[in-house]
């Protein structure tokens, strides 16, 4: 795989800000809007994909480095699985779900960590298999509850129901009970004034 | 289809509500007159949505006229497609006939169906089978619809028999039935858009029905994808929030696809009402049932 830092044209020691800036500039340059009537539009799209994949890979690598720095992983298997997962994430971002799924399934069960479950969930969600997606996100969250990305995704699914079609017709506070109560009150008032509204009480 | 895909009538404009009811009347009439009297008895409002979408992609405009029928013998009702033949209503009628037949077969294969119920179902199937034979002879399109439905239902029954633990797999299989049926007789982008709508609709209906019937299935010991997945009724109910969210995601997908079909269309307001208000309300009703009874039991 090509070096993602080389694709973005930055040094591996560059700060997050620098990387973001480089990415934005390149993205602007290769944006499909600039190539609308250009026969080379597909090449630009390819470039764009590469840049996106590289950026995401760097993000993943850095996020992984941050969240796993305290974990007691053996160095070898840890970095190996991280590379695998970065490749899967790049495939997902490039829209190659079939390849991403194949890579995902190739990861042995012993090396399936929170990130793996999260990526598997992303693949499921893109395939429109939402029940499995939500289970994967839940697994990722329970393995690594401190990762904001996993938690955000899991909460997103659970709160969809509240965002989608959250609608109350109108104030349905007037029930049959309220009507009776109103009548009894009116009856009391009438009786105070010497009259009667409901004869039997 | 099980009556989940309905509009919120209080949010429809009066003329939209009139049209909605007229399409239902028209559908029932078309079924009775042209397709199958017996199958018309099991018609429900879900099919109106399909008829509206189908009319939308083919640019058909429903023409209304006043008609009496056995259910409304005194006051005539607005009725769509009574004078002129409506292709959309004819198509949906055929889909309903095929689905009813397969649903009956499915219920009869189910070992949990009671003896008396089975007798009634057998009788009903006899009547339906007669119409199916007639329809098959008359219309090659119907054979295509029936084949699509039968294939997917067989696969669905197999999965259920195996005790499949993946709700998505079942939902997608059910979606495939409607995906193929909705596309029959269409071409190009209309075909793509409508089959996508059908697929989403099938998935949502299957899972929503499973979620809605969860308590009953648990009591009777029938197969239910959520029971298979989580083991017990309580375990499934403890994931209510998640299941509700997943159903909403399926509904959102349907919303996106329907928007492509109805975009500047004539029946867009009704379809929008169904997808954006009616379906979420149906999902909420099913979920509330579980959360409320959960609280009652724990109290």
Give tens-digit pLDDT for B52-105. Answer: 999 999 889 999 999 888 888 889 899 998 888 899 999 999 999 999 999 899
pLDDT reported for residue A120 = 92
Cβ contact A165–B166 (<8 Å):
no
Contact between chains at A132 and B166 (C-beta distance less than 8 A): yes
Cβ contact, residue pair A161, B244, below 8 Å: yes
pLDDT (mean) for A68-82: 48
CB contact under 8 A, A128 and B172: yes
Contact flag B167-A134 (C-beta cutoff 8 Å)? no
Using the predicted structure, report yes or no on whether residue A18 has a pLDDT greater than 60.
Answer: yes
- Which residues 56-115 of chain A have a CB within 8 Å of chain B? none
Question: What does the pLDDT average to over A104-109?
Answer: 86
- Flag if A161 and B287 touch (Cβ within 8 Å): yes
Q: Is A116 part of the contact surface with chain B (CB cutoff 8 Å)?
A: no
| pLDDT number for residue B21 | 94
Whether residue B161 is contained in a domain is answered as yes
Q: Could A160 and B253 be called an inter-chain contact, meaning their C-beta atoms sit closer than 8 Å?
A: no
* pLDDT of residue A1 exceeding 80: no
Residue B104 forms part of a structural domain: yes
Report chain B residues whose CB lies below 8 A from the CB of A157.
242, 245-246, 249
> What's the CA gap between B196 and B201, in Å, rounded?
9
Which residue of chain A is at minimal alpha-carbon distance from B279? A165
pTM score, whole prediction: 0.74
Predicted confidence at residue A168, as pLDDT, reads 56
A164 contact B CB<8A? yes
pLDDT value of residue A17: 86
- Cα separation, B222 vs A19, whole angstroms: 56
* pLDDT, position A65: 62
The number of angstroms, rounded, from the C-alpha of A178 to the middle of its chain's C-alpha atoms is: 45
- Distance of residue A169 Cα from the nearest chain B Cα, in angstroms: 8
Does residue B1 lie within any of the structural domains? no
Mutate to test the interface with B, among A161, A169, A172 (most CBs of B within 10 A): A161
CATH of the domain at B181: 1.10.600.10
- Low-confidence stretches of chain B (pLDDT < 50) are none
Q: How far is B144 from chain A (nearest CA, A)?
A: 26
The answer to whether position B4 is within a domain reads no
With beta carbons under 8 A apart, name residues in chain B contacting A159: 245
* A124–B242 C-beta distance less than 8 A: no
CA proximity to A164, closest of A156, A172, A176: A156
A28-59 confidence digits (pLDDT tens) = 777 777 667 666 677 778 778 888 888 888 88
- Please tell me the distance from the alpha carbon of residue B1 to that of residue B99, in angstroms, as a whole number: 8
Mutate to test the interface with A, among B4, B168, B226 (most CBs of A within 10 A): B168
Q: How much is the pLDDT for B84?
A: 83
- Complex prediction ipTM: 0.80
Q: What angle do CA A129, A134, A139 make, to 5 degrees?
A: 130
Q: Is residue B201 part of a domain?
A: yes
Which among A157, A166, A167 has CB closest to B246?
A157
* Nearest chain A CA: its distance from B232 CA (Å): 17
- In angstroms, what CA-CA distances link B36 with A120, B42, B46, B100, B296? 47, 11, 18, 11, 45
* Interface A:B, Cβ pairs < 8 A: 71
- Residue A3, classed as helix, strand or coil, is coil
Taking CB atoms and an 8 Å limit, are B287 and A159 in contact across chains? no
Determine, for residues B252 and A160 on separate chains, whether the beta-carbon distance falls below 8 Å. yes
Among B248, B256, B281, pick the best mutation site for testing chain A contact (most A Cβ within 10 A). Answer: B248
Residues B90, B92: Cα–Cα separation, whole Å: 6
Look at residue B296 and tell me if it is in a domain.
no
> What are the chain A neighbours of B249 within 8 Å (beta carbons)?
125, 130, 157, 160
Q: Which domain range does residue B200 map to?
A: 9-289
Name which of B197, B207, B141 is nearest B174 in CA terms. B207
Is residue A74's pLDDT more than 50? no
Q: Does B17 fall in a domain?
A: yes
In this complex, do B245 and A128 lie within 8 Å of one another by their Cβ atoms? no
* Chain B residues with CB-CB distance to A128 below 8 A: 172, 203, 250, 253
The answer on pLDDT for A126 being more than 60 is: yes
Distances from the Cα of B261 to the Cαs of A7, A95, A112, B83, B196, in angstroms? 41, 25, 41, 27, 10
Cα(B273)–Cα(A44) distance, integer angstroms:
41
Domain assignment present for residue B3? The answer is no
**Tally of domains in chain B:** 1
A162: nearest CA partner in chain B = B245
What is the Cα–Cα distance from B192 to B187, expressed in whole angstroms? 8
Inform me whether the pLDDT recorded for A70 exceeds 60: no
Residue A80 has pLDDT above 70, yes or no: no
């Amino acid at each position: 795989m090509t070096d993602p830092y080389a694709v973005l044209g930055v040094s591996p020691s560059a700060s997050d800000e620098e990387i973001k800036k480089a990415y934005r500039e390149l993205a602007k340059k290769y944006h499909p809007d600039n190539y609308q009537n250009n026969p080379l539009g597909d090449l630009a799209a390819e470039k764009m994909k590469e840049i996106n994949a590289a950026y995401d890979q760097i993000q993943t690598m850095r996020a992984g480095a941050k969240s796993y720095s305290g974990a007691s992983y053996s160095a070898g298997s840890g970095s190996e699985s991280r590379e695998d997962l970065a490749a899967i994430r790049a495939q997902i971002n490039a829209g190659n779900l079939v390849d991403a799924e194949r890579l995902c399934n190739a990861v042995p069960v012993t090396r399936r960590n929170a990130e793996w479950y999260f990526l598997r969930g992303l693949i499921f969600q893109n395939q429109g298999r939402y029940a499995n997606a939500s289970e994967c996100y839940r697994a990722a969250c329970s393995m690594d509850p401190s990762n904001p990305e996993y938690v955000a995704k899991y909460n997103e699914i659970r709160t969809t129901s509240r965002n989608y079609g959250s609608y109350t017709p109108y104030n349905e506070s007037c029930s049959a009970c309220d009507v009776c109560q109103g009548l009894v009150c009116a009856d009391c008032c009438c009786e105070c004034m010497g009259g009667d509204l409901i004869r039997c009480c | 289809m099980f009556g989940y895909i309905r509009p919120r009538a209080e949010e429809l404009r009066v003329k939209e509500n009139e049209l909605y009811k007229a399409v239902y009347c028209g559908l029932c009439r078309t079924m009775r007159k042209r397709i199958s009297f017996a199958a018309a008895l099991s018609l429900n409002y879900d099919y109106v949505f399909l008829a509206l979408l189908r009319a939308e992609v083919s640019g058909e405009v429903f023409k209304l006229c006043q008609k009496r029928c056995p259910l409304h013998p005194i006051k005539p009702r607005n009725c769509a497609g009574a004078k002129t033949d409506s292709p959309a209503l004819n198509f949906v009628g055929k889909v309903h006939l095929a689905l009813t037949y397969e649903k009956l077969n499915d219920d009869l294969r189910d070992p949990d169906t009671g003896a008396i119920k089975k007798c009634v179902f057998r009788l009903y199937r006899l009547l339906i089978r007669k119409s199916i034979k007639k329809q098959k002879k008359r219309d090659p399109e119907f054979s295509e619809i029936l084949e699509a439905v039968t294939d997917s239902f067989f696969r669905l029954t197999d999965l259920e028999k195996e005790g499949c633990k993946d709700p998505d797999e079942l939902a997608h299989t059910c979606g495939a039935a409607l995906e193929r049926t909705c596309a029959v007789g269409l071409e190009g982008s209309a075909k793509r858009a409508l089959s996508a709508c059908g697929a989403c609709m099938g998935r949502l209906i299957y899972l929503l029905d499973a979620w809605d019937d969860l308590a009953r299935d648990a009591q009777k010991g029938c197969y239910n994808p959520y029971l298979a997945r989580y083991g017990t009724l309580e375990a499934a109910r403890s994931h209510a929030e998640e299941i509700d969210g997943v159903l909403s995601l399926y509904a959102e997908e349907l919303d996106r696809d329907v928007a492509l079909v109805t975009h500047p269309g004539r029946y867009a307001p009704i379809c929008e009402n169904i997808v954006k208000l009616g379906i979420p309300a149906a999902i909420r009703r099913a979920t509330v049932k579980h959360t409320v009874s959960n609280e009652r039991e724990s109290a």
